Amino acid sequence: MTRTLDDPKALVPLSEAVFQILLSLADEDRHGYGIIQEVGERTDGRLRLGPGTLYGAIKRLRGQGLIEEVEADWRAADDERRRYYHLTALGRELATLEARRLERLLMGARQKKLLPQRGMA
């Protein structure tokens, strides 16, 4: 049973794993292993999602209506048995909320000169 959230703000802040999964689906629908690969590459191998962790998160995100499973359509010829996941509008909104939250944190750190200002080496 899928129960969508009334207010995605209630889920912020997100765990890093969840945020990274949402990010990996932001530009493209992916299957499970595709998500692991993309997250691994984007984080330079720092975050390695295991299958159990990944699908546990997928199950939860689907339950919250943040991602959904999509038909394999054209990918079928490539890999017909895989299940692909798509970021829903709600999921995108939540990922954006989290990104903004992180951005604000980042700005604060810059103001306090913990990090260099944008554009500075």
Partner 1 sequence: MSTRASGGSSLERVYGLLLFLYPPGFRNEYGQELRRTFSDWYRVRQAGTAGLLVFLGEVLLDLARSVPHQWAGALRRYRSSHDLLEDDRRPPYAAAFIAGLLVFVLYVVTLAPSIGFWDSGEYTAVAHTLGIPHPPGSSLFVLLAHLWEVVLAPTGLTPVVSINLFSAFLSAGSHALWFLVVDRVLAGTIEDRKVRWIGAAAAVALSATAFTVWNQSNVSEKVYAVSFFTSALVSWLILRWRDTGCGLRRLVTIVFVVALTATNHLMGVLVVPALAAFVVLVDRRALKRPTFWLVALPVVALALSTQLLLPLRAAQDPILAEGQPECASIVGAVQSIYTWGASGCDALSAVLSRDQYGKPPLLLDPTLYPAKQAPRSAELIGLQLLNYLQYFDWQWGRGLAGADPLFGGMRPALTVLFVLLGLFGARTNWKADRETAIYMGTLFLTLSLGLVGYLNFRYGFAIAWDRFPAVSMHEVRERDYFFVIGFSVWGLWAGIGLVALWSRMAGIARAKVPVPRLATSPVLALAVIPLALNWSWASRADDFAARDFAYNALMSVEPYGVLVTNGDNDTFPLWYLQEVEGLRRDVTVMVSEYLNTSWYVKQLRQLTEPCPAGVDPDATPTRIVCQRAMKPGDLPLPLARAGWLQATEPPPDSIFPLSDEEIETIAGSYFVTDSPMTLRAGDIEATIASGTYLAPADTFVATMLRSTLGERPVHFMPGSSIVSTLGIEDYAIRQGLTWKIHNGPLPDDSEDGVVRIENSQLSAIAGAAIDLPLTDTLLWDVYIRRGRILKQDAPWADAASSGIPRQYAYAHYVAGETHARAGERSEMDRHLRRAAWWWQVAAN
Asked whether position 44 contacts partner 1 by CB under 8 A, the answer is no
Asked whether position 119 contacts partner 1 by CB under 8 A, the answer is no
15 vs 111 by CB, closer to partner 1 = 15
The candidate with the shortest Cα–Cα distance to 22, out of 40, 35, 7, is 35
Least separation in angstroms between residue 20's CB and partner 1 is 15
Asked whether position 83 contacts partner 1 by CB under 8 A, the answer is yes
Give the whole-angstrom CA distance, residue 41 versus residue 99: 19
Among 12, 55, 93, 97, binds partner 1 (CB under 8 A): 55
| Both tokens assigned to 111 | 């103001």
Contact 26, 96 (CB under 8 A): no
